[in-house]
Amino acid sequence: MRAQGAAVPELDNPVAIPVELAYLFAWFTELSAARGSSGFGANPISYAEIDAWARLTGTAPTPFEISVIRLLDGALLRNLSDG
């Protein structure tokens, strides 16, 4: 896979998500698809957005699950800011 014409080795052989955690990645992608933007880039997913998503979907994420979603979000935002 390539980003801006440069090879990104980490994307050539992505690590498989363990089946036990796949639902968390699905939750993250759902939340990420609805994220806002400041005009300078993507905004982090806020606790308020996670709360609203949980209420609207009838989901009850645990504190651990919320922390994983926030860690994934931080990794994505760092990757985006690095270009």
Q: How confident is the model at residue 12 (pLDDT cuts 50, 70, 90)?
A: low
Hey, which bits of the chain come out as E strands? 2-3, 6-7
CA distance 47 to 66: 9
11 vs 58: which has the higher pLDDT: 58
Q: Residue ranges per domain, the chain?
A: 17-81
In tens, the pLDDT along 26-62 reads 999 999 999 888 888 889 999 999 999 999 999 999 9
